[in-house]
């Protein structure tokens, strides 16, 4: 009887090919872009109630204070509603355009995030009595 031939050690598994690694990288990059676009869309929709889009008849809540107001559009039935817009005067910062009309005049040229928006306007506001 002859002894059995020695067995060859099993070959180590081949390393993943470069194309497989590149495919994984592409998937990660695409997922990252999709997440960034999703976050951007959510922030855009959340910012749609910005005061620079306020129209006559809209009601506003003040999340700031009287010196540094941070106004946002809310429903007039909302318990946070403090002002009602009675006139919008675009392309000016002249609050005297509201004299005799309202309790409060608000002018703004910054958006809610305090970045230059390039818009100048005055909102003539009437206080909501609670």
Give the tens place of pLDDT for each residue, 86-128. 998 888 888 888 888 776 776 765 444 444 456 778 888 888 8
- Supply φ then ψ for residue 73, to 5 degrees: -75, 130
Average pLDDT over residues 18-37: 78
Out of 47-51, 72-76, 79-83, 86-90, least confident range:
47-51
Q: What is the pLDDT of residue 84?
A: 92
Average pLDDT over residues 76-87: 91
As a whole number, the mean pLDDT across the chain is: 76
CB 61, CB 74: distance < 8 Å: yes
Q: What is the pLDDT of residue 49?
A: 44
Establish how many alpha carbons lie within 13 A of residue 24's alpha carbon, considering only the half-sphere containing its beta carbon.
Answer: 5
If one counts every other C-beta atom within 10 angstroms of the C-beta of residue 82, the result is 18
DSSP one-letter code for 77: T
pTM: 0.55
Statement: residue 81 has pLDDT above 80: yes
The runs of H, that is alpha helices, within the chain are 18-46
């Amino acid at each position: 009887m002859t002894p059995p031939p020695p067995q060859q050690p099993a070959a180590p598994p081949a390393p993943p090919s470069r194309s497989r690694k590149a495919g994984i990288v592409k998937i990660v990059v695409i997922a990252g872009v999709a997440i960034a676009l999703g976050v951007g869309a959510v922030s855009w929709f959340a910012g749609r109630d910005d005061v620079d889009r306020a129209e006559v008849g809209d009601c506003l809540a003040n999340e700031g204070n009287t010196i540094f107001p941070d106004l946002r559009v809310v429903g007039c039935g909302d318990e946070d509603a403090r002002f009602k817009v009675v006139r919008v005067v675009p392309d000016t910062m002249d609050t005297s355009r509201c004299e005799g009309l309202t309790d409060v005049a608000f002018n703004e040229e910054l958006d809610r995030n305090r970045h230059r928006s390039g818009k100048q306007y005055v909102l003539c506001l009437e206080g909501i009595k609670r």
